Amino acid sequence: MKMSDIVARYIMDMLDEKDGNAEIQRNELAGLLGCVPSQINYVISSRFTPEQGYIVESRRGGGGYIRITRITTDRRIAIMHVVNSIGDRISEGMAGTILENMAGRQLIDTYEKMLIMSALSDKAYKNVPQESRDLLRASIMKNMLVTIVVLQT
């Protein structure tokens, strides 16, 4: 298992134990897990983002900490948060990552994830010029997610 997976799993366990709130000291956690503090930063910045359902606050200094809070909201609100976080363009890889995270948080089911991923794949855009694919992909992804929200009401 990669060190980043170990760090992420440890933080996830802390969040589960403390009802979705964890406060960590970067150096202390790095020492406990046997990694460098920058590894903690990397994991937090890549795996605990608002798009993935987390709020991260940090306070620097001697008594500094990093506070991670799992966002627990209504499914429709969470999906709309994802829609609003998608810019004008999105790569196939980033779209897949977002959809995997949404499925992991049970915001969408496996069928919805696979259907959307199919519609967003480069294979589906083989006749679309390369420079237009990410723009089109973002628009389609947003529309599909909004449709899921609308169908839930």
pLDDT tens digits along 7-48: 999 998 999 898 889 999 888 999 999 999 889 989 998 888
DSSP state of 72: -
Residue 137 makes CB contacts below 8 A (sequence gap 6+) with: 89, 90, 91, 92, 95, 120, 125
Q: Does the structure show a pLDDT above 90 at 90?
A: yes
Residue 49 makes CB contacts below 8 A (sequence gap 6+) with: 56
Place of tokens 């609100």: 77
Confidence at residue 46, expressed as pLDDT on a 0 to 100 scale: 87
Model confidence pLDDT, tens digit, residues 69-79: 987 668 888 88
Other Cβ atoms less than 10 A from the Cβ of 77: the count is 10
Q: Give the pair of three-digit tokens for residue 72.
A: 């627990």
Q: Share the mean pLDDT of the chain.
A: 89
Place of tokens 């909004």: 146
User: What are the extents of the domains in the chain?
Assistant: 3-70, 75-152
| Phi then psi dihedrals of residue 70, to 5 deg | -80, 125
Cross-strand pairs, 67: 23, 57
Look at the domain 3-70 and name its fold.
Phenylalanyl-tRNA Synthetase; Chain B, domain 1 (3.30.56)
User: Which amino acid, one-letter code, is at 3?
Assistant: M
Q: Does the structure show a pLDDT above 90 at 96?
A: yes
Confidence at residue 1, expressed as pLDDT on a 0 to 100 scale: 72
Q: Does the structure show a pLDDT above 70 at 63?
A: no
d(CA 150, CA 153): 6
